[in-house]
Amino acid sequence: MTERRSALVTGASRGVGAAIARVLAPTHDVILGGRDENALDALAAELPGARPWPVELTRVTAADLDAVDRLDVLVHSAGVTHLGPIAGQPIEVWRRTMELNLFAVVELTRLLLPALRRAGGHVLCVNSGAGQRANPGWASYAASKFALRAFADALRQEEPELRVTTVYPGRVATDMQRGVREQEGGAYEPEKYLTAESVARAVLAAIEAGPDAHLTELTLRPSAGPVT
- Whether 193 is a known active-site residue: answer no
| Per-residue model confidence (pLDDT) at position 137 | 95
Q: Give φ, ψ of 71 to 5 degrees.
A: -140, 125
Per-residue pLDDT of 10-63, as tens digits, reads 999 999 999 999 999 999 999 999 999 999 999 999 999 999 999 999 999 999
Q: Per-residue pLDDT averaged across 203-210, rounded?
A: 96
Per-residue pLDDT of 145-172, as tens digits, reads 999 999 999 999 999 999 999 999 999 9
Please tell me the distance from the alpha carbon of residue 18 to that of residue 194, in angstroms, as a whole number.
15
Alpha-carbon separation of residue 10 from 114, 122, 139 (angstroms): 18, 14, 24
In the predicted model, what is the mean pLDDT of the chain? 94
| Per-residue model confidence (pLDDT) at position 225 | 54
Residue 126 has pLDDT above 70, yes or no: yes
Model confidence pTM above 0.85: yes
> What are the extents of the domains in the chain?
5-220
Local structure of 6: helix, strand or coil = strand
Residue 227 has pLDDT above 50, yes or no: no
Alpha-carbon separation of residue 223 from 25, 198, 215, 227 (angstroms): 28, 12, 22, 9
Amino acid of residue 38: N
H-helix segments, 25-138: 37-46, 91-98, 104-119
Confidence at 184, pLDDT banded by 50, 70, 90: confident
Please tell me the distance from the alpha carbon of residue 220 to that of residue 228, in angstroms, as a whole number.
11
Q: Per-residue pLDDT averaged across 180-195, rounded?
A: 88
Confidence at 114, pLDDT banded by 50, 70, 90: very high
DSSP string, 157-219: HH-TTSEEEEEEE--BSSHHHHHHHHHHT----GGGSB-HHHHHHHHHHHHHS-TT----EEE
With the C-alpha atoms ordered 183, 186, 188, 191, is the resulting torsion angle positive or negative? negative
Q: Per-residue pLDDT averaged across 170-182, rounded?
A: 86
Q: Which of 141, 168, 188, 193 is catalytic?
A: 141
Q: Per-residue pLDDT averaged across 191-209, rounded?
A: 95
CATH tag, 5-220 = 3.40.50.720
